Amino acid sequence: MDRGKRVIVGVCGTLSGLAALYRAVDEARERGAVLVPVTAWQPSRDDSLRPLSELEYAARRRLDTAFDQAFAGYPEGIRIHPLVVRGEPGHVLVAAADRPDDLLVVGAGGHRRLGQMLHGSVARYCRMHAGCRVVVASPSQLLENLALAARSGSPLPFLAGDRGIARPRGLAEADHAG
């Protein structure tokens, strides 16, 4: 990966994560930056009999699915370097955003109170430990955009701005370039 501008975004499959993904794509376009979507994964107790390769593949599919749901595929016109990393989300995101000029975008969270009490908020962890600027995206703006789109008849993939849409591609490619 080159040493240019980067926008790192946590992709987790929640409404907050979707809001973060929209914000990160917009930021990458505005900055002319590489988009680095990051999905962190860990085996749970229920996964003890599943091969790790299967769990990693499921995480890769979640990343593809997030782009498919948000944009009907990977957006064209920006370079995308996806990362799927085994580890705690906050630690993985802070490690990925390791340059002072990076921008780290995370969802506001707040949907799993018990998880936050036990493990803490990913957004809070990133704000406290990242060595770069951190933007916390709230799902409320995304919901407002969805309501506006529903009233105007605009399709979901164009909510975050004027962008080209590509068909989903697998993550076997190292660089998703539009």
CB 128 within 8 A of CB 104: no
The per-residue pLDDT for range 102-156, each reduced to its tens digit, is 999 999 875 555 444 444 689 999 999 999 999 999 888 777 777 766 777 765 5
Domain ranges of the chain: 7-160
pTM (whole model) above 0.85: no
**Integer-rounded Cα radius of gyration of the chain:** 16
The per-residue pLDDT for range 34-87, each reduced to its tens digit, is 999 999 988 877 766 777 888 899 899 999 999 998 899 999 999 999 999 999
pLDDT for 156: 54
The 10 Å Cβ neighbour count of residue 6 is: 24
Backbone angles phi, psi at 171, to 5 degrees: -85, 10
> Strands, DSSP E only, in the chain?
6-10, 34-41, 79-80, 83-86, 103-107, 133-137, 176-177
What token pair was written down for 26? 């917009």
Q: Which CATH architecture has domain 7-160?
A: 3-Layer(aba) Sandwich (3.40)
The 10 Å Cβ neighbour count of residue 122 is: 27
For residue 79, what are the β-bridge partners? 177
